Amino acid sequence: MQGLLFLTFAAIAVICAINLVLQTHPISSALSLIGVMGSLAVLYLLLGGEFIAAVQLIVYAGAIMVLFIFVIMLLNAGAEKRPTRKVLATWISLPLLFTFVALAAVLIGSQVPRTEAVTFGGFAGGTTLSVGRALFTQYLLPFEITSILILIAILGAVVLARKEI
Amino acid sequence: MDIPLSLPAAVPLSWFLILSAILFMLGVAGFLLRRNIITVFMSIELMLNAVNLTFVTFSYRLQKVDGHIYSFFVMVVAAAEAAVGLAIILTVFKNRSTLEIDEVNSMKL
């Protein structure tokens, strides 16, 4: 059952990611990215990350992607005119990337023993309670610094969106 | 490395890491091959998501919540980055009326 769930949502994630790269229209890419994020949220649930799964859906698939689609529609961005980059770059970069991922897969497969397996419910420490407790005790300083970061981001966005720049 | 024909009862930990590597690779490919500045930006988000999956997987392996915290911080930084980056894209489009990254090749107008 878990293997089936994993394979289903991993396949959805990979297909949506391939679609993101192949589509020429930004709206199609954005919808594919939402598919990737939604299936990753299911995989987080499988790994016991309840809070992270919820935040993934609310912040990533909700807030950030709405911002993306808002900008795409605001700019009236159409499909790319010229289909792709230089042929040589495509034909060299893609095999190199595939080699890289195959190498990574072989390394991971040889380093991580096959007995290491994920069972649903095998980790119960990803609840909102435990994440919140860690966030407000051990990670209090980074959490507070994050608020300053967001403040700076807001100011930066406001400054950049002024009329005269 | 033998590939099992029947589905295992529990998912091997390495599958999550390999999925993360595949998603990261696709993000890199999108970053390199796409011309539209918004699609390039979305490829970066895909790479961040792949890294988040690795964090959560290792959090499961170590039975600690720290990986979830890191991935939470990555999400916060991604949100801030999206706000500023999209504002930059808006400004670039306002000044140059193009979204093709190859045509944005000088710092000054």
Question: Which residues make Cβ contacts (< 8 Å) with residue B98, sequence separation at least 6?
Answer: B104
Closest residue of A to B22, CA-based? A101
User: Does the distance separating the beta carbons of B66 and A123 come in below 8 Å?
Assistant: no
In chain A, % of residues over pLDDT 90: 53
Per-residue burial over B68-99, b if 16 or more Cβ lie within 10 Å, else e, is bbbbbbebbebbbbbbbbbbbbbebbeeeeeb
d(CA A29, CA B39): 7
Structure tokens at B73: 């911080």
Q: Which of B35, B75, B31 is nearest to B51 (CA)?
A: B75
| Greatest pairwise CA separation for chain B in angstroms | 61
- Distance (Å) from the C-alpha of residue B80 to the closest C-alpha of chain A? 5
Lowest mean pLDDT across A47-51, A114-118, B81-85: A114-118
A59-88 residue pLDDT tens: 999 999 999 999 999 988 777 776 555 677
Using CA atoms, how far apart are residues A46 and A4, in angstroms rounded to an integer?
Answer: 12
Q: With contacts defined as CB-CB under 8 Å, which chain B residues touch A38?
A: none
CATH C-level class of A1-79: mainly alpha
Tell me the domain boundaries of chain B: 13-96
pLDDT score at B32: 86
What's the ipTM? 0.89
Domain ranges of chain A: 1-79
How confident is the model over A148-159, as a mean pLDDT?
92
Cβ separation of B26 and A106 shorter than 8 Å?
Answer: no
CATH assignment of B13-96, among 3.30.420.10, 1.10.287.3510, 3.40.50.261, 1.20.58.2050: 1.10.287.3510
Residues of A in contact with B62 (CB under 8 A): none
